[in-house]
Every structure is written in C-alpha cells, then in structure tokens.
Amino acid sequence: MSGFLTLGKLPNFKVKRMKGDRVTFVLLGGTGDLARKKLLPSLFNLYKKGKLDEFDLIGTSREDLSDEEYIGEVSTALEEGREWEKFRENIRYLQLDFYNSEDYGKLRSHFLECGDHRLFYLATLPDHFDVITDNLNKRDLVNDSSKVLYEKPFGDDLQTARNLNQCVSELFPEEKIYRIDHYLDKELVGDLSILRFSNSIVEPLLTSNSVNHVQIIASEDFGVKDRGEFYDRYGAVKDFFQSHLLQLLSLVGMSRPKKLDARSIRDKKVEVLKEVKILDSMTGQYRGYRGEKGVKDDSKTETLVAVKAHLDNRRWNGVPFYLLSGKNLARKYSEIYVEFERPDAGYPAEVGNLVPNSLVVSIQPDQGIYFEINTKVPGKMSTEPAKMQFCHSCHHGPNTPSAYENLLAQAIAGDQRSFVRYDEIEEQWKVVSRLNPSEPVTYRRGKVPSELKKFITEGSWHGLEG
Ligand SMILES: NC(=O)c1ccc[n+]([C@@H]2O[C@H](COP(=O)([O-])OP(=O)(O)OC[C@H]3O[C@@H](n4cnc5c(N)ncnc54)[C@H](OP(=O)(O)O)[C@@H]3O)[C@@H](O)[C@H]2O)c1
C-alpha cells in the first residue's frame, strides 16, 4: 500500500518487527492524565488485538510506588479483559525525577531484562522536554533502535520551540524524533487527503472558483476539568489552534503534491502555513473559568479562539477560512465545513430558499463525510436540503483504532508519516506570533457569545447552537 493511502492510519496493520525485537515503552509521565486516559488504554488495545505481543512497559513519575501499586493504578485506567493477567506481567515502575540525572541511570538496569527497541514517550509538560532529552542522551539510553516521542505543544512559543528543536536535533537524528499531533491519527483526518486526491470529482471543487468560505471547528462542551493549572498556562491558542487547527488548515489548503508520499505532503503543508494571512481574531473566556481549580483568580487565559484567515495563493484567492476552538460551548464536535457559492438557479419564489451546497468532514464524535444538496419535494415545486452521506462508523463499525493506538503502532513500526516535522511546527508558531487578539470576552457556558456570532460574516458557525 502506498504512503499516501495510509496517511494518518494503518488499515489492518500488524506492527512490523524484526524477529526477537521486543519493544520497551518508557512512559516518562506514566501516572499523568494523558497516560491514564489515552496511552495505557491504547497499548492495552493493541495488545488485545494481537498487534503487540512482546513488550515491556516502564512507567515513571516522582511518586514512590512499587510495581504492584503502579500496576494497580494502570488497571484502574483500563477496561480489564481476560488479556489483563498476561498484560500486567510486563509492567514495571520506576521512581524518576526528570531533573535528577542519577535516576536515569536506574533505567539502564531495567533495560538489561528488556529488548533493544526502546520507545521513550515524553508524556509530560513541554517545560521538561529539554532536560529529559539531555539526560537520555547523557546516560546513553537512546540506542540505534530507539525512538523519542514528544507530546504537543512542542515549545511555548516560536523561540522556545526553536531552542527545544536545537537541543533535540543536536542530540538525535530526525528519524528518531517523533513529534506528536494526535489529530493527524484520527481516522477522518487521515481520510482527508484520500478524499481530496483520490476522487477526481472533489479536488476541482476546492478552489476560489466554487468555495465561498471554509470553517474548521473543534468545539468542546466541557471546561478544563482537572487540568486547570496546565490549561491556564497555555489557553486555546497554544493548546488547540497552534497544533490541531493549523494542521487541519494545512491539509485542506495544500495543493496536490507531485508525489503522494509523507515527505512531499509535509512540504506542501509547510507551503500553506507560510501563506496564512491573519485577517481577524477574537478570544473568549467562559464565565466561572477563574474559579476552576488551578486557575489564577485574575487569569486572562482564553478558553475560546476564533480566527479569520486567507491563504495567500491563487487557488484560494480571497476565500475566508474561519478557525474556531472553544471550551464549554453547546456541543462537542470537530469538523471541516466547506460552503460553496450560493446557487442562483433563477427559479420562481415558491421554490423557496436554496441552501448553499456544502461538503462536511465530521472528525468526531460522528465520523463521516457528506455533501449537502438541494432536492425537490415530491409533488411540489419546492426544494429541501438532503445529505449525500458516507457514515464511517456505520460502514466500518465503531471499533476503529483510536488516534493514540494508530500513532503508537506507527511509532513502533518506524513510520513517521503522521508525525509533525519541525518546519511545520516552526511555521505554526509563526502564525501564532502574527495573531493579535484583544482581551477575551466573557461567555456563558453552553452559549455562543454574540461577538462570536458576529465574527463570521458569511452565514453562521456550522452546527454550533446556543
Ligand atoms: N491530558 C490530555 O488529555 C492530553 C491530551 C493531549 C495532549 N496532552 C499532552 O500530554 C502531556 C502530558 O499531559 P498530562 O495532562 O498527562 O499532564 P499531567 O497529568 O500533569 O502528567 C504529567 C506527568 O509527568 C510527571 N512529572 C511531572 N513533573 C515531573 C518531574 N519533575 N519529574 C518526573 N516526573 C514528573 C507527573 O508525575 P508526578 O508529578 O507525580 O511526578 C505525571 O506523571 C502535555 O504535553 C499535554 O499537552 C495531554
């Protein structure tokens, strides 16, 4: 199968391994939220599906835990199945402070019993990434078969991202570095380039000749939960806009690469990111945010960001792209909505209002793709909108692999196509540095602030009630 077809997912993959190649996962931040909610369940799923037979898992944190206590913690994060008893035999715990170089030495003795294929997953705040990288290198833990996985955000801003990248790339070659944006491993994001480049009816439509505007939305119906301290440092711009929204924008906006391989696609994405011209932006903060645990009393951190941008190229000449991410809105969903120019069919008034055609890629929780068209109501000379729909979960069932399952499997297989290259990250931070939003407006939970309604001058936010 070509690189193109598997971008963002590995259909029916079996993790590629050499004989006797036992994988060792070192989960640096093995007690954190991400580990509990995503990484441990994903590893267990891979194991249950028979895609990971031989492995060791070493979880680390500063807590003083025995192996048994850690295994107990892991079990609470998983839906135990009959495979649990075998899975648990491979789990170890190591108390390790990122800033104590001696602690890394203890990993060496653990490695004596493990295979050489090591995956170091930095499941912790980016503040610690450089010191961890440095210590892994000093202690000579990253061997030829190792990979180092960096969670997002990669840096706090353009300068810190550059510093971090300099540190990382001085110590490790690019083929060992895996920068994560888990959105790229969502099934429907993986489908985007297939939808565009393998369907000759779709690609010609996606230009300024036919498109009125594009919306890219990642809306959540909950607040910061127990991640207030983390969130208050980053906010919607750094947590979502800088990574997920700009990655989606680059996948929608890029022109067709000459070759449909990972390198050419990334090159095209970088081109688009360089062309992003910010026209307007606004931010919001939900009422009650300052009372959340871990949030400062006088916090000005935004929990919502909306951006209007153009892509400075001929293909998208003058087409507005609206990007929105927000917490505590009415619905939890992520989608790409492409609205085509309004039809001017010249029908008599009784036909009623024709809707503009649209193409929608639903990323979550619904997964699918549909076109909205105008159709005739039987027996009447009037119209109603109808969906021409591909429902992904109806077709493939609900148990397609999660984004983190996909990305862990790809990292094990040494497949970097769904990981982010540094120049993409650099351009993403440059876009962020061009944003100049005013102070956040306050909005009520579950409500769309009037400023956000007015922000979009072409129609309204698709699917966002409240
Ligand atoms: N949580 C999510 O849903 C989510 C989603 C997408 C991406 N991410 C990204 O994933 C990363 C981790 O997020 P998270 O929410 O899991 O954070 P978290 O809950 O705060 O977990 C951080 C982990 O790092 C450990 N740690 C912190 N300081 C340490 C130190 N000095 N030495 C050793 N261990 C230390 C913590 O254990 P101790 O404090 O006990 O030592 C804990 O295990 C972040 O980059 C975040 O952006 C998270």
Distance 239 CA to ligand 1 centre (A): 14
Per-residue pLDDT of 366-402, as tens digits, reads 999 999 999 999 998 888 999 999 999 899 987 678 8
Task: Sheet containing 383-391: give its strands across.
Answer: 383-391, 368-376, 358-364, 333-340, 211-219, 321-326, 304-311, 276-286, 441-443
pLDDT of residue 12: 41
Angle between helices 246-253 and 422-434 (to 10 degrees): 110
Is 244 one of the catalytic residues? yes
- pLDDT over 60 at 14, yes or no: no
Per-residue pLDDT of 82-139, as tens digits, reads 899 999 999 999 999 999 999 999 998 889 888 889 999 999 999 999 999 999 999 9
Q: Are 195 and 77 contained in the same domain?
A: no
- Substitution candidate for ligand 1 out of 61, 240, 293 with most atoms within 8 A of CB: 61
Q: Domain of residue 426: give its range.
A: 184-397+421-455
Q: Is the CB of 330 inside a 6 Å radius of any atom of ligand 1?
A: no
Number of domains in the chain: 2
Ramachandran area for residue 168 (φ above 0: left; ψ -120 to 50: alpha; else beta): alpha
Cα gap 85→144, rounded to integer Å: 32
pLDDT of residue 80: 75
Q: Is the CB of 97 inside a 6 Å radius of any atom of ligand 1?
A: yes
Question: Dihedrals φ, ψ of 117, to 5°?
Answer: -80, 100
Q: Is residue 463 part of a domain?
A: no
Place of tokens 């000379």: 381
Nearest to 212 by CA among 54, 401, 342, 71: 342
pLDDT of residue 382: 87
Q: Are 110 and 251 contained in the same domain?
A: no
Lowest mean pLDDT among 283-287, 397-401, 417-421: 397-401
Report how far apart, in Å, the C-alpha atoms of 21 and of each of 18, 54, 73 are: 5, 8, 27
Q: Is residue 163 part of a domain?
A: no
Distance 32 CA to ligand 1 centre (A): 5
Residue 417: band (very low, low, confident or very high) from pLDDT cuts 50, 70, 90 = confident
**Which helix H or strand E contains 219, and what residues bound it?**
strand 211-219
Tokens in use for 420?
């982010």
Nearest to 247 by CA among 427, 410, 416, 11: 427
Instruction: Fill in the amino acid letter for 175.
Output: E
Q: What is the mean pLDDT of the chain?
A: 91
Cα gap 275→311, rounded to integer Å: 5
Kindly give the number of the ligand 1 atom that is closest to the alpha carbon of 98: 32
Distance 329 CA to ligand 1 centre (A): 26
Provide the CA 141 distance to its chain's centre, in angstroms.
28
Last residue of a domain, one of 144, 174, 207: 144
Q: Is residue 244 part of a domain?
A: yes
3-state secondary structure of 197: helix
Highest averaged pLDDT of the listed ranges 44-48, 66-70, 182-186? 66-70
Q: Is residue 166 part of a domain?
A: no
Q: Are 100 and 207 contained in the same domain?
A: no
Q: Which of 117, 182, 213, 244 is catalytic?
A: 244
Distance 217 CA to ligand 1 centre (A): 26
CATH of residue 189: 3.30.360.10
pLDDT of residue 381: 83
- pLDDT over 70 at 16, yes or no: no
Q: Is residue 59 part of a domain?
A: yes
Last residue of a domain, one of 86, 121, 144: 144
